[in-house]
Structure 1
Amino acid sequence: MATVMSAPSKPIIWTSRILRGLAAAFLLFDGSFKLFNPAPVAKSFAALGYPAGIALSLGILLLVCTVLAIIPRTAVLGTVLLTGYFGGAIASHVRVGDPLFSLVFPLILGGMLWGGLYLSDQRLRAIFPLREHD
């Protein structure tokens, strides 16, 4: 038996936009910052054991994934790719023993992206219902 899902309300749509927009704004800034490889980026990459030259590649990757996550038609793909990116970031920080915030921040960004997408995408809510329908 098929269930009919109603469209999300305006407050839910705006909550989704705010969550995804804040996360995307940070990621676009971070990706753009990596393209220019200023001293703080080079220093953080060195602390993680990566060559400074990899910042450009990771910046481009982050920007492409973020743009995919922003576009409604490719939002799920972009968010999945960003989840992998965040996993790599967390693994890099765990490897060098960085503080807890370095581990939690990517989780927060991922939660904002997935939470916002869940609120606005009926297909995700159908796949992962938060409650059983009677």
Structure 2
Amino acid sequence: MTTKTKNSISWVLSGLIGLMLSASAIDKIMGSGHALQMSALFGLSARTYSLLGIIEILSVFLFLYPRTGILGTLLLSSYLGGAIATHLQHQQAIAFPAAIEVFVWITAIIRFPELSRRLTINSAENNLVTK
């Protein structure tokens, strides 16, 4: 796969993630009927749910901006981990937040080769680090 193809795929995937999570964040911030229903289901006030939307959209912006993309990846991963935990606590399905988290990490691995290298240190490099 050429670098140009890899870059194109990574930006398309990043755009899809950005659209999905931005829509979710805006829904929370604006306090739509669905958002208010979900906040009540999870035992959160509308203000707290709106704050979660702000955190979510800031994380998306950090993810999309190349210089802070890895930080954004970690923040989105943390945010989605909290969503999974909240869903589990309230006996809700976790497939959707878990799938988005996997999608975020696949995109990050494609988009940030340095992240991939750090996560897959081979044994020869590991031996050099410990000596």
Please indicate, yes or no, whether the TM-score normalized by the shorter chain is above 0.5: yes
> What residue ranges of structure 2 are gaps of 5+ in the alignment?
125-131
TM-score (norm 2): 0.84
TM-score (norm 1): 0.83
> 2:39, 2:46 within 8 Å by CA — same for their partners in 1?
yes
| Secondary structure in 1 matching 2:72 | helix
For 2:88 and 2:15, how far apart are their aligned partners in 1? 28
Question: How many equivalent pairs are there?
Answer: 124
In the alignment, is residue 24 of structure 1 matched against residue 15 of structure 2? no
Query: What is the root-mean-square deviation in Å for CA atoms of aligned residues?
Result: 2.1
Matches within 5 A, 1:1-134: 9-99=3-93, 103-129=94-120
Counterpart residue identity of residue 107, structure 1: A
> 2:77, 2:104 within 8 Å by CA — same for their partners in 1?
no
For 1:111 and 1:132, how far apart are their aligned partners in 2? 26
> 1:34, 1:55 within 8 Å by CA — same for their partners in 2?
yes
The 1:8/1:118 distance shift into structure 2, 3 A limit, reads farther
Once the 2 structures are TM-superposed, how far is the Cα of residue 8 of structure 1 from its aligned partner?
Answer: 5.5
Query: Larger relative contact order (C-alpha < 8 A, sep ≥ 6)?
Result: 1
Q: Percent identity?
A: 27
For 1:122 and 1:98, how far apart are their aligned partners in 2? 35
Q: Which has the higher helix share?
A: 2
| Secondary structure in 2 matching 1:50 | coil
> What residue ranges of structure 1 are gaps of 5+ in the alignment?
1-6
